[in-house]
Chains A and B, each alone.
Chain A
């Protein structure tokens, strides 16, 4: 059994509203998913929906098994597209930020 992975996750751009109005959360997720694979960002997104998100409006965060359009995922200050997207395997103390894009002006 792999060790749990401690992470910092942050929600911004309005997404914090869905997570008890709290921007920064220190969490610890299992080191492996149900299939025994190393926990990646796809697993983290599921885990957050099941364990951290109290708000019932799941569709404001996920759509078709990934984050909804208009939400950026940033891993250690880089766009997740530079890190392998949902397949990025999480490392202890990674910082994962979920940002909803803003349109006002």
Chain B
């Protein structure tokens, strides 16, 4: 448990980092403004006042040779390198010069620089958004690299934000990158979001998803939210258009779609459930695409976004894209609801306010629930991996490995019997029966799994089955994680 002093120091650090970032953004806009004025002045003085007045009606002057050598003094709205860099997307009617200038003006915040955030950031930087904010408090791990394409083997241990910055700067140095090397917290969320035009939720947990959605509503930012697990992904654009809370013509928020969080034990992370790199990559790339679509939208097409609503206007419904890599069809688009009239965040009856958010009175962790490590066995029913390694291997004891078949086939101890935990005592016991584990009541039974949670549940089930011999079923504490740490360092660290 961190002390309150630690927490205060952490809060102060975050506050400082946050203010520094706001200063950086403000200075960048100041630089832009000064440069625009400079460009304007030099264009005026180069051509003389009378000539510039003619330009509006006549053909635009081809910049002379002197101007061409120096993009600063060019009359063109983009520099010569920008035309080259973005030409392939600018020649499409969907983007054009108009869209490119909209992108250049745009400030995009990416929360989470992992499997979704890396590809999303790469494509947005490539497309030439003016300002790209990166937020993440984690450091790069080797197990990230199969999918988090902005990181690199040589940058393991570095903060994800700094690592992605190196990659992105090499890709496109024209972008103004803002680094937020910390996790999003309710206290500072609003002041960070206010600096941007649109937000991408590239995080990996319901707590952050609710916090990001609430903050997007409070700061009137459209939100592009995506998620992925195993072979599937989901994508939804929320709070678009970002009307004030209570206005049913705004797009629905995350709470409109998911008013109640899922039970904590039903939430699987990529580390637990697995993730195929290209699957999360596809979803991150789609987020960049949706962000570009929102940022370059023509005002004519934004009829619903103008203040005067046409009499026939319908509340905006969201649309959920579901990607399932191993199904047919792989993509599916689902019509979703409009804003919920009793939504806790975006309706007239809202309880989420700027004050409740910044004061920390909304406890997102409690709202989403937490899973506590399993602890269902008494001390004598638990054995350390080290002690288990000392036991003779003979026919007096059985080792039951309750990991699933796929993990068991990656690595297993010789002589162990695989009975995957089914999530339920009765059904698991009947599987154990089928595998012959229960045949001899007198044998000592040791149960092992990856981290030491399921093994306790299985050991408990077996103890209750054999009430007469409670002492002879034991769990191996912390499972193969402890086995690798304390007994066999060569054990695969998958």
Q: Pick the contact of A13: B115, B205, B232, B335 (CB < 8 A).
A: B232
- If A78-B335, A104-B268, A104-B280 touch, does A69 touch B424 (CB 8 Å cutoff)? no
- A residues near B257, Cβ cutoff 8 Å: 72
Q: How far is the CB of B425 from chain A (nearest CB, A)?
A: 9
Q: How far is the CB of A56 from chain B (nearest CB, A)?
A: 4
- If A77-B335, A104-B280 touch, does A14 touch B262 (CB 8 Å cutoff)? no
Tell which of A27-35, A37-45, A86-94, A95-103 binds the partner.
A95-103
Q: Tell me whether A105 is interfacial, beta carbon within 8 Å.
A: yes
Q: Tell me whether B422 is interfacial, beta carbon within 8 Å.
A: yes
What separation, in Å, do the CA atoms of A23 and B232 have in the docked complex?
Answer: 12
Q: Tell me whether B127 is interfacial, beta carbon within 8 Å.
A: no
What separation, in Å, do the CA atoms of A69 and B254 have in the docked complex?
Answer: 13
Chain B 327-339 per-residue mask, 1 if CB under 8 angstroms from chain A, else 0: 1000011111100
- If A12-B327, A77-B332, A78-B334 touch, does A101 touch B424 (CB 8 Å cutoff)? no
- The answer to whether A82 and B335 touch across the interface, beta carbons within 8 angstroms, is yes
Chain B interface size, under 10 / 10 to 19 / 20 to 34 / 35 or more: 35 or more
- B residues near A68, Cβ cutoff 8 Å: 262-263, 266
Q: How many residues of A contact B (CB 8 A)?
A: 28
- The answer to whether B322 and A101 touch across the interface, beta carbons within 8 angstroms, is no
What separation, in Å, do the CA atoms of A102 and B322 have in the docked complex?
Answer: 10
Q: Pick the contact of A102: B117, B227, B263 (CB < 8 A).
A: B227
18 CB contacts below 8 A, A to B, read: A12-B322, A13-B322, A14-B273, A60-B266, A60-B423, A68-B266, A69-B263, A70-B266, A77-B332, A101-B227, A103-B205, A103-B227, A103-B229, A104-B273, A105-B115, A105-B202, A105-B203, A105-B204
With A14-B229, A14-B268, A104-B268 given, can you name 19 additional A-B contacts, CB distance below 8 Å? A12-B232, A14-B273, A55-B423, A55-B424, A56-B426, A56-B427, A57-B423, A71-B262, A82-B336, A99-B234, A100-B266, A101-B227, A101-B234, A101-B262, A102-B232, A103-B268, A103-B269, A104-B228, A105-B112
Interface residues, chain A, CB within 8 Å of chain B? 12-14, 23, 55-57, 59-60, 63, 68-72, 74, 77-79, 81-82, 99-105
